[in-house]
Amino acid sequence: MEIVARLLNGVDVVELSGKATAEAHLELREAFVRKIQEGRRRFILNLSEALFIDSMVLGELVACYKRAAERGGDVKLVVVPGGMAHALLQLTGLDRAFQIYGDEREAVASFGACC
């Protein structure tokens, strides 16, 4: 699995690609916590290139959301409609917890203008 973090219009985008297995959740946590400590509050987790997501990574997605919310922030997801990640989010009920977008630009725009 590969994690790529970048800034797009004032929003931190964290992209997961490949197989997101148990070992990956710690890497995701470290990347996310570092951004939170830097004062970042607006996040997109892009799962559109994820081939597999295990339960540890799903749990970390929820933890990321909680960390951001505790600091007045938000985490939104990008998934391929009807794809593996979307089906998994529906199966677990997490599609009701997260705002989900099919496109990264739409997700970033949902935050509105940068502060």
Q: What is the pLDDT of residues 63-106, one digit of tens each?
A: 999 999 999 999 999 999 999 999 999 999 999 999 999 999 99
Tokens of 10: 């004032």
Instruction: Name every residue whose Cβ is closer than 8 Å to that of residue 21 and which is 6 or more positions away in sequence.
Output: 1, 52, 54, 56, 57
Domains of the chain, start order: 2-109 (3.30.750.24)
Distances (CA, A) of 9 to 14, 32, 44, 55, 76: 14, 18, 12, 31, 15
Q: What is the pLDDT of residues 6-50, one digit of tens each?
A: 999 999 999 999 988 877 788 889 988 999 999 999 999 999 999
Prediction pTM value: 0.91
